[in-house]
Structure 1
Amino acid sequence: MSIDPSSIPSFGSPQPPQGGQPGGGPAGPPPVVVPDQALVGQLLDQMQLKHLVDDEGDLTAPWDGFRVYYMFRGEQKELFAVRAFYDRAYPIEDKHEILDLLDEWNRETLWPKVYTHTHEDGVVRLIGESQMIVGTGVNLDYFVTTTANWTQAAVGFEQWIVERLGLQKEIEGEPGEPEGETPDEG
């Protein structure tokens, strides 16, 4: 799923300064806001992304194969993070190869920064993360655009890693299988 840049919502135009702007030009910078979960929910609604609130109170947008969380952390909820948890499991023996790929991704892209998490049973999973401090306020347009871009990048990483690892056939099913059907597991 990709996000069309034109689908990035506008939460309203800034109000013109006292006396207005001659010629109808831009009226000045957009407002500075302290973002909260309601604003992020409104953004996800406008982007037409399914989302829910999880047991910890974080907004979550699920995709096939991963989930993106929109979280506020800190005593004053001053840190905003967009974190993607990718479901695909890798064996510990493949970790070196995965780390090499993540180094490439992290060098060549701004976000999300992706890292591994190794579970006690030796299964390796990937997590992508982007963060900004919002407690003192942030330009509304910047927040909206950045959040949408971070979401799009989380989706883009999934597509990139599938391509780099040659997993497309695994995801689409084996050759000869009709689309939308899976082999019997009996």
Structure 2
Amino acid sequence: MGDEPPSPASEMPQSGVIRPDLDRIERILERLQVASIRDTRGRLATRWQCYSLFFTFDGDGEVYAARTIYDRFFTVDDKPALRAVLDEWNRDTVGLKVYTATDDDGTVIIVSEATTHIGGGVTSEQFAATTTAWLNAAGSFHLWLGPRLSLAGLPGDPV
């Protein structure tokens, strides 16, 4: 036994293991019949009626991420009640985490995020299942959110 901990065998690709890219996500979305575009920041985006979901690779392709921006806008004064609603989701679910972000003009928005480390590669099946699960989670959160906002006295309808 040496002094160094064992390192993952990411240098030795295994059979069936891929290094995914945006083209692969596009193919998955096409199979799911989900329209997508590439934005100017190099992200692959899908647009839904009340939110936009962006797929990215961060950290030199080591991390696969999906971030959703919801078409609901709040004031800074709404943040305490909004955080209480989002905390409920974060406590009760795994995978997709939600938080607030504040624009320079003081507008508060809701963002959801899911990430997974793919530095050692993944199988095509794992990657497709993860992408599909994240699409479903973004929609599930949207459906969950409206009634919770109303109960908290916040605007429940997207703009």
Structure 2 residue aligned with 1:165: 149
Structure 2 residue aligned with 1:15: none
Gaps of 5+ in 1: 1-29, 172-186
TM normalised by structure 2 equals 0.82
- Is 1:116 matched up with 2:100? yes
TM normalised by structure 1 equals 0.71
- Is 1:126 matched up with 2:110? yes
State the one-letter code of the partner of 1:125: I
Structure 1 residue aligned with 2:27: 42
Asked if 1 retains the 8 angstrom alpha-carbon contact of 2:82 and 2:149, the reply is no
Tell me the distance in 2 between the aligned counterparts of 1:90 and 1:81.
25
Structure 1 residue aligned with 2:18: 33
Gaps of 5+ in 2: 1-14
State the one-letter code of the partner of 2:57: F
SS at match of 2:129: helix
State the one-letter code of the partner of 1:64: Q
Shift in Å, 1:111: 2.7
Q: Deviations over 1:111-156 (max 9, x none)?
A: 3100100123221101100111112211221221111011110111
Shift in Å, 1:37: 0.8
State the one-letter code of the partner of 1:60: A
SS at match of 1:152: helix
CA RMSD of aligned residues (A): 1.6
Q: Deviations over 1:78-121 (max 9, x none)?
A: 21101101121011111111100111000111131001001232
1:46-125 alignment, distance < 5 Å: 46-75=31-60, 77-125=61-109
SS at match of 1:93: helix
Size of the alignment, in residue pairs? 140
Q: 1 or 2 for the larger relative contact order (CA 8 Å, sep ≥6)?
A: 2
Identity of aligned residues (%): 34
SS at match of 1:49: coil
Q: Which runs of 4+ in 1 moved over 4 A?
A: none
Shift in Å, 1:72: 0.9
Structure exhibiting the larger radius of gyration computed from Cα positions: 1
